[in-house]
Chain A
Amino acid sequence: MLHVRLRDVLSEWGAAAAILAVGVTIAGLAARQAENVEHKRIESILDARAEWLRVSVFAHTDGMTVPVEAVGHFMSTQSFVHLDEFDAFAKGARHLGSTPIAALSWVPRVTERDWPTVEAMAVAMGLRDFRITRETRPGLPADSEGRREYFPVLHEALLRNRESWRGRDLATDAEIWSAAERARDLAAAIATVPTDADSDSFHVVWPVYSRAPPDTLEERRKELRGFTLGQFRYADVMRWIFGEFPSRDQIVHIFVHPGTGPALLVGSVDVDGATGALASSLELLGAQPELGKFIKPFEVLGLNWSMVVIFPGFAINQLHASTPLTWLVLGIVLTMVVAAYLWHQRRQTILVRAMAADLRLTVDQLVRTDSELRAIIDASPVPLLTIDDRAQIRRWNAAAETTFGWAAREVIGRHNPAIPPDRMAEIASISARLKSGDIVRDLETVRIRRDGTPFDASVSAGPIFADDGAYSGSVVMIADITERKQVERMKSEFVSTVSHELRTPLTSIAGSLSLVLGGVAGNLPERVQQLLGIAKKNCDRLVRLINDILDIEKIESGKMTFDMRPLGLVPLVRQAIEDNRAYAEGYSVEFELTTDGRELQVNGDSDRLTQVITNLLSNAVKFSPKGEQVTVAVRTRGERARIEVIDRGPGIPEEFRSRIFGKFAQADARDSRQKGGTGLGLSICKAIVEKHSGSIGFETTSGQGSRFYFELPLLAHSAVKSEMYAAGAATLLVCEDDPDVAVVVAGMLRAGGYNVDQAVDAETARAAITTRPYAALVLDLRLPGRDGLTLIRELRAAPVTRSLPIVVLSVRADEERNRSQGEDLGIVEWLSKPPSSEQLLATVSRAISRVRRRPRVLHVEDDSMMLQTAASALREHADVTPARSLAEARTALERESFDLAILDIGMPDGSGLELIPLLKDARGGLLPVILFSGRLGDAMPEGGPNNVSLRLSKTESGWVRALVRTVKGLGDQPPAARP
């Protein structure tokens, strides 16, 4: 578990959040900025459009007055215009600019004096009902003398859904008169300001003067002849300006500003088309500035107007570039990417930090453990070092520093400097053992100190393996055993010296006595002889005692060496009996040997075993009554050989039985003196027997006798071969009576990877062969008892051992071979003694490989009796698989491979020959085939396939022998030649 801290996790999220926030903010600001820029851009585009509209409206309205002006000019040039003339001219003028003029009127200036004249004129023109309305009130126009001036509508044209205003004094209309006055004074066309919210039209007043427009105000007032008046409907005007078609791209509202009072909406253009409606829509005008709304003022016809252009959302959107959005999105995406990356980095950092914390903990633990170990190692009084897999020193404890003289820092990383140069081979051997997993215990050797002095050392070492099983070094303890060795040497020397010092005078004593008693110095009187005899006897006893003491010392210090060889027990016992016969005769005791007739082989030191047997024999003789027999029995007991020495003496007293194998243990002093024993014999016997992996014991019955026995493991079953059987290795039997040769041959074979059992003679070999299967027998022809050749013949006679590979070792191998030529001795290889290791191994290998396996034969035959006959004949030589039909044969061929096929040609489901193409060996070559037929000749292909070894007829006598011979011949070929 990683120790991820909460703080870290929070900070991790916090950092991510912070980054995200910052990024989003920046992106937002950038987007807003882009938005502003975009707004401005759109505004300027729309503003331009609005401006264009304004100009258009202005131009239109300006042109609106053209017919009014035109008529005005016309009237100013005429002193008198007939009604029809006026009408015609007006109609013509209307088409100028195709303005949406609703009515065009001529309004002359009529004085009080002229008034009747004008009325009469009008009537004369046909306007019978023409009367000038009269009104008097303040504010109405008057001349310089104060007399009323009238402005009646005289001519009218282009009436459009309007009543006639003929005769009406326009001066009485405040709206119109206000505009007229201004027009007169400004000599310009002036529009009326609507005062009535329901009015749907306005008038344009054009002043007509009696001559070209005067320059001064006074003149203008004086020279005024009248006005032309044009009436326009707002709706018509709007339609005329903005077309008949609805505006999709913008909404336009036209406002007029009367001098006093709020602005009045005079017309709108939107998706429903242009409308002209008088309305007070303050909100449109006075609203906050917003995107797409423009207020454009213009002045025309003497009035101030405002045009409000509203561009609808979609128009704006059309213009709206996606830049700000793009900026925003990009910004956010970028931010998120950066944030993600940074968060990831942060996370990694946190993980790494947690891992580092864990690691620190582990390292702390390791350091603590290491410190503990170091303390333990340093505290050890024995020099202790550890080496790595390249034998370089890793640890060197305090004791090593003291013992060897090098400080740890001087040797760490180097090879052990304490090894003397002449011990390198030993080091290599130790190293090899360690690497293979062995532990080295108490190897006595020599090491050197820093000053070069060598000292005796005992090395113990154990390998260390890593988790993956690789060798990673060793722990080595090197103990200074100088003292121990010195003590040992001293003891050894002491014993040696003492024994020498004791033996030297004894030599003289015993020798002199011997000579005297032997008559060399002349004849002796009987009494002298008797006394000297006593002296000699005790002298001999002393010698034996010294020998026994030495033996005991050797055994106890582990210094007794045994020369272990395979040996036959029975001959050994016989010899010991023979050697002690004279001694026994001195006690009037006879030996009797019984065996079970079997050859018993053990691994042992013949001298030491003889010593044991001799000891038992002499004890038995000593304690036997005169004239009695000592029986010696040699037999097997399970997997051990047992030698018994039975005496009919007094037996062993009860209180003594538990100490009998102890040192200087004898029933009582008197007895021992008389019997001449040393008291050490049995303890030496016990030690020797136990060193032979055996056991020693006794049975005794007081008054009847004792039976002393010892048992040793039999050679065939003993694990005295110090090398364990190698699993999977073939086991060979070496039958050789010369122990030296046997050891050498066995050694060579073991080195070649075989397990080796040994037999000293033919009988033992024979017995061994019956108990276990050997891969081969290595045999010396010259053997005691049954000779080798006889053994081979016997083995060949038995079916089980007929094909046992035999390698014959003989001093004169060629001779022997020649002599036995013609005999069918089976697989025998001949080798001259002494063979070299290579020769021996090659020959053994060759012999074995010749009988690697029995050939596998497929017998295709539908006649059961034939199958049985052939099978029993071939049983010893081959493994036969029967097939009673071609189908069966095909199945068998699919399942396994064969070395040979016996084919009957006439089969129930076809001819055996059909199978021939299927008979292939592992390499694709054709197998050898034996063809059988009841009818030889027909159906047998002439010339046939060339893998046919034999053609036989079932009716031919001796076909069995021929068959067997062929199969056997196949089996005897080395596998390489066999397909």
Chain B
Amino acid sequence: MSDTELSRILYIEDDSDIQAVIGMALQEIGGFTLEICSSGAEAIERSEAFRPQLILIDVMMPGMDGPTTLGHLRQMPATASTPAIFMTAKVQPAEVARYREIGAIDVIAKPCDPMTLSDRIRSIWVRCRG
């Protein structure tokens, strides 16, 4: 597992349809290895084992929301410093700034074009590491 290229993405999204679409886009087009979780709790359970290189989280989730989930993940060694990207339909500027404050490197607005999503994520990741 080379760490210089992005391959493992932890994807947390509660909406199954969006899961399907984005999941397909990232896997089929981007070729990433995805661990898809439907809730923050699941993500916490499975992140340790998966050891993601990038975390893609939906902000609005029932139960534990995106930011809270990220906060928990940050407490765990495997994901303490993993770059994270939020996905959200609510993109108010104040919120974007807040997401950055709590540790996201970028925010992707929904709806997004699944065809170009993988490239976007990859370039974000590269930029972050560079």
Contacts and interface: CB of A to CB of B under 8 A. Distances in A.
Contact of B24 (A506, A510, A520): A520
Given A511-B25, A512-B21, A520-B25, A504 B114 contact: no
Interface in B20-38: 20-22, 24-25, 28-29
Given A507-B110, A511-B18, A518 B115 contact: yes
Nearest to B94: A561
Contact of A543 (B20, B60, B90, B111): B111
Interface string A230-244: 000000000000000
Nearest to B88: A500
B15 A511 contact: no
B62 interface: no
Contacts of A496: 90, 92
A503 B108 CA distance: 13
B93 interface: yes
A508 B21 contact: yes
Nearest to B115: A518
A514 interface: yes
A507 B29 contact: no
B17 interface: yes
A505 B92 contact: no
Interface of B is mostly: helix
A440 B24 CA distance: 55
A212 interface: no
B112 interface: yes
Query: Of residues B24, B89, B110, which shows the largest number of chain A Cβ atoms within 10 Å of its Cβ?
Result: B89
Nearest to B16: A508
Contacts of B110: 503-504, 506-507
Given A499-B89, A515-B24, A518-B29, A505 B17 contact: yes
A503 B28 CA distance: 23
Contacts of B88: 500
Contact of A515 (B18, B92, B114): B114
Interface in B102-124: 110-115
A507 B21 contact: yes
Nearest to B58: A504
A518 B115 CA distance: 7
B60 A500 contact: yes
A536 to B, nearest CB: 10
Given A518-B29, A520-B25, A507 B90 contact: no
A844 B110 CA distance: 49
A180 to B, nearest CB: 163
A508 B18 contact: yes
A592 B63 CA distance: 53
Contacts of A503: 89, 110-111
A500 B60 CA distance: 9
A499 B59 CA distance: 14
B89 A511 contact: no
B113 to A, nearest CB: 6
Nearest to A512: B21
A500 B65 CA distance: 14
Contacts of A500: 60, 88-90
B15 A504 contact: yes
A502 B90 CA distance: 11
Interface string A600-630: 0000000000000000000000000000000
Contacts of A508: 15, 17-18, 20-21
B75 to A, nearest CB: 28
Query: Of residues B20, B111, B112, which shows the largest number of chain A Cβ atoms within 10 Å of its Cβ?
Result: B111
B111 A520 contact: no
Query: Of residues A500, A512, A515, A521, which shows the largest number of chain B Cβ atoms within 10 Å of its Cβ?
Result: A515
Contact of A561 (B89, B90, B93, B115): B93
Nearest to A492: B92
Interface in A512-544: 512, 514-515, 518, 520-521, 543
A501 to B, nearest CB: 8
Contact of A511 (B22, B28, B60, B93): B22
Contacts of B21: 507-508, 511-512, 514-515
A520 B93 contact: no
30 contacts: A496-B90, A500-B88, A500-B89, A500-B90, A503-B89, A504-B60, A504-B89, A504-B110, A505-B17, A507-B15, A507-B21, A507-B89, A507-B110, A507-B112, A508-B17, A508-B20, A508-B21, A511-B22, A511-B25, A511-B112, A511-B114, A514-B113, A515-B28, A515-B114, A518-B114, A518-B115, A520-B28, A521-B24, A543-B111, A561-B93
Interface of A: 496, 499-500, 502-508, 510-512, 514-515, 518, 520-521, 543, 561
A-B residue pairs, 7 tightest by C-beta:
A511-B21, A503-B89, A508-B17, A507-B111, A500-B89, A507-B110, A511-B114
Given A500-B60, A504-B89, A504-B110, 17 more contacts: A496-B90, A500-B89, A507-B89, A507-B110, A508-B15, A508-B18, A510-B111, A511-B21, A511-B22, A511-B112, A512-B20, A515-B28, A515-B115, A518-B114, A518-B115, A521-B24, A561-B93
